[in-house]
Structure formats: C-alpha cells, structure tokens
Amino acid sequence: MTITRNDVPGPGTSPVPGRDARDERGQDGKKRAGIGWRVRLRRDRTLIFMTVPALLLVLAFNYLPMFGTVTAFQYYDYIAGFFHSPWAGLDNFRQLFVDPAFWQAFENTLVLSFVQLVLYFPVPIALAIMLNSVLSSKVRSFVQAVVYLPHFFSWVLVITLFQEMLGGAGVFNHFLTTHGMNTWGIMTDPGTFKYLVTAQAVWKEAGWGIIVFLAAIAAIDPTLYEAAAADGAGRWRRMWHITLPGMRGVIVLLLVLRLGSALSVGFEQFIIQRYAVGSNAAEVLDTYSYYYGVVANNFGLGAAAGLFKAVVSLVLILAANKLAHYFGEDGLYRGKS
C-alpha cells in the first residue's frame, strides 16, 4: 500500500503520532480512567499492531528460552533433553552454594562491578561535557570518531594490544629491561587485575558511552545558558547549575540499568585473561557458568548459577529503581500512583 498523506488518520479518529504521554496520563490519571479499554483498543489499534513484531521477538528470544531454566532443577542430560532428564530438586543449588569457586566468582563479580561503577561510570559523562565545550565542529567530530573507534574492536584485539604494550614482553617492559630496571607484570598481577580490566573497559567503551550523554546535553535549552551567562555565571557554574542538572535524568536512568546488570561484568574479557591472572581474580559468574556448567557438561549447575544471578539482578534493579524514585527521578518505570 502506498502511504499518502490521506492515509494518515485524522486527529478525530485515531492517535496522532506526536501525541505525548503527558496527554494520556493527564494531570492525575482521571482522563485515562474515563475511556474504556475497548475504546482505547480501537483507537490505538494501529500502534498496537505496530508493536506486534517486536513483541513476537521478545517472546521468541526472551521469554521462550526462559523455559530452559528448568535445567537448573534437573540432572540435565543433553541427549535425553528437558523432558527425559531426571529431576534434581534443589540439588544443583546445594552443590552451587557449597562450592567455594562459586562464591569466589560471586565476590569477584561484585568487586569488579563496584570498581567499574566508581572508576568507569563517570568517565563518559566527563568526556561528553568536555566534548560539548569544544566549539570547532571539525575538531569535535574528529575527537568523537577517535574515541568511538575502540568500541568496534573485539576484546581479543583490545587485550592483545594491552599485552603488546604492557605485557611482560611488551613495549613498556622492554623499555624497563633495556634501561636496567625491574619489569612490572601489569598484565599478570592478580591484585591489580580489577583496575586493569577497568582501564581496558574505559579505553574500549568510554567513547561509545558518551553518545547518550551528548544527546542529553543537546536537549538542554540553550536560552538557560544565555540567561546564566547574562547573569554573570562562569563556565563552572554553568556546568554545575545547568548542564549536570539537565543530564540528571539520563544519568540516574543509566545508573539504574547498570545496577541491574551489576552481575554481568562481561565474559570475553575475562575468559581471555583468565589464565594470565588465575581464576581467583578473573573468575566472574558468567565464566563460572561456562567452565563448570558448559565445559564440564554439568548444565544443571551452570543453569543454577545463571538463575541465581538473574534473581539477584532482579532484586538489584528493583532496589535501584526505588532509589531513583527517592531522588525524584523516573528511573526505569513507575507503578500506578
């Protein structure tokens, strides 16, 4: 069908694309309560129809696989399948919770997540603000391109690069050796591994992370800056009183999302460097699931570890959302109030 202007439903019959959520919510929800769901269904049918493909994708790839969680309660035998594997009750969880390697992985995950939260999270914000202050659009797009680029490198490549620069046989240590100094095993030191991986994450992802923040800054009304400048506010005051408050919603939203995925610190980055520093430092929940679940052909245990992670993540995200409300932000969602 060819879409012409005439096909766009008129304001009286159907939703206008530009209609804002605020109209819907009204002042206190009364307006919405006034319309029956049938009427709304009729009115919104085009929009609902448009969401069907996405809904199907979510069902097929997010909800359907959740049935696989049953393996956590089975002695899963991949040849026999879900339907013929014997039930294990909570035995996989019992096995999981007495395994010191699991708790080590859990602890590592939390520590890494915390270190990354403190050391990584502010970097893209700072970068975005700095970039925004660059006036020359040429310089800005150049810098932007340069900092985006590492995002497209694979972890193997990033770690190889780090190894070539900082590894025992790398440029840095070779310089030290040839100048009669002791070498510094940055890449193989379990103690500083958390900072190493955070540095790698900053190098690879911080540039990419600024996109959202740049968008948030762009959405700030420029007249505010003009007014503030007219009132004599300097660069720092403008940042503190206009830019940062303008970004607050986005920052809090991303923080909430980040807490929800606090137990997913990555997989490849750790599996590649696992032997360099040992599993005491590099094992995270996802690599634990892989080694002790998939590789060891103990799928039940792996699934149990995954389920445990999912439950903890759910709790975390709910808590973070509450916290966002407490600070007066929308967070991920708001229940009816």
Partner 1 sequence: MATGGRSIPAFPASGVSRRNVLRTTALGAGAAAFGVPLLSACGGSSSANGGVSASGLKSSLPDYVPLTGGVTPDIPSVAGVHGAVTDAGYLSYPTNLVKSVSEVPGSGGSYTGVTPLWGSIPTAGNGYYQAVNKALGANVTMTPANGATYNTAVPTLVAGNKLPDWIQLPTWWNSTFNVGELAASKFADLTPYLSGSNIRKYPNLAAIPTGGWQVGAWEGKLYGIPSFTSGQAFAGVLFYRQDIFESKGINPDDVKTADDLYSLGAELTAPKAGVWAFDVLSLMTTQIFNVPFGMFHAVNGKLQFVCDTEENLASLEYCYKLAKSGYVHPDALAGNTNNAGQRFYSGKELVGSGGTGAWNVMDAQQGQAANPKYKRGAFKLFSNDGSTPTIGLGAATSEVSYLNKSLSKSQIEECLRIANYLAAPFGSYEYTLINYGVEGTDWTTGKGGPTYTSTGQKEANEDTYQFLCSPQNAVSNPGYSDITTAYCAWSAEAVKYAYKPLFADFNISVPTRFATAAAAAELTDVTTQISYGTKTMSDYAAAVKSWKAGGGNALLAWYQTNVYDKYGAGQ
The string of DSSP letters for 70-85 reads GGGGB---TTT-TTTS
Complex with partner 1: residue 55 or 169, whichever CB lies closer: 169
Q: Which of 109, 113, 273, 289 binds partner 1 (CB under 8 A)?
A: 273
174 binds partner 1 (CB under 8 A): yes
Complex with partner 1: residue 177 or 261, whichever CB lies closer: 177
Complex with partner 1: residue 244 or 272, whichever CB lies closer: 272
297 binds partner 1 (CB under 8 A): yes
Complex with partner 1: residue 283 or 329, whichever CB lies closer: 283
302 binds partner 1 (CB under 8 A): no
Q: Which of residues 71-90 bind partner 1 (CB under 8 A)?
A: 75, 77-81, 86
Residue pair 200/123 in contact (Cβ under 8 Å)? The answer is: no
The string of DSSP letters for 28-62 reads TSHHHHHS-HHHHHHHTHHHHHHHHHHHHHHIIII
Q: Which stretch binds partner 1 (CB under 8 A): 43-51, 257-265, 277-285, 304-312?
A: 277-285
Q: Which stretch binds partner 1 (CB under 8 A): 31-39, 138-146, 218-226, 272-280?
A: 272-280
Complex with partner 1: residue 144 or 279, whichever CB lies closer: 279
Could you give the CA distance from residue 154 to residue 134 in angstroms, rounded to a whole number?
29
Could you give the CA distance from residue 197 to residue 279 in angstroms, rounded to a whole number?
14
298 binds partner 1 (CB under 8 A): yes
Q: Which residues, at least 6 apart from 191, have a Cβ–Cβ distance to it below 8 Å?
A: 281
- Supply 126's token pair: 């700072």
Residue pair 104/280 in contact (Cβ under 8 Å)? The answer is: yes
Residue pair 87/74 in contact (Cβ under 8 Å)? The answer is: yes
Q: Which residues, at least 6 apart from 266, have a Cβ–Cβ distance to it below 8 Å?
A: 155, 197, 201, 284, 286
Question: 211-222 burial string, b = 16+ CB within 10 Å, else e?
Answer: ebbbebbeeeee
190 binds partner 1 (CB under 8 A): yes
Q: 115: phi > 0 → left, psi -120 to 50 → alpha, else beta; which?
A: alpha
296 binds partner 1 (CB under 8 A): yes
Q: Which of 35, 118, 295, 311 binds partner 1 (CB under 8 A)?
A: 295
Could you give the CA distance from residue 168 to residue 189 in angstroms, rounded to a whole number?
11
- Supply 151's token pair: 């995002």
Q: What angle do CA 270, 276, 281 make, to 5 degrees?
A: 60
Q: Which of 125, 277, 285, 324 binds partner 1 (CB under 8 A)?
A: 277
Q: Which stretch binds partner 1 (CB under 8 A): 172-180, 203-211, 219-227, 259-267?
A: 172-180
Complex with partner 1: residue 303 or 320, whichever CB lies closer: 303
Count CA within 13 A, CB hemisphere, residue 301: 21
Complex with partner 1: residue 14 or 188, whichever CB lies closer: 188
280 binds partner 1 (CB under 8 A): yes
Question: How many residues belong to the site for partner 1 (CB under 8 A)?
Answer: 42
Minimum gap (Å) between residue 160 Cβ and partner 1: 8
Binding mask 20-59 for partner 1 (x = CB under 8 A): ----------------------------------------
Binding positions for partner 1, rule: CB under 8 A: 75, 77-81, 86, 95, 100-101, 160, 163, 167-170, 173-174, 177-178, 183, 185, 187-188, 190, 272-280, 291-292, 294-298, 301
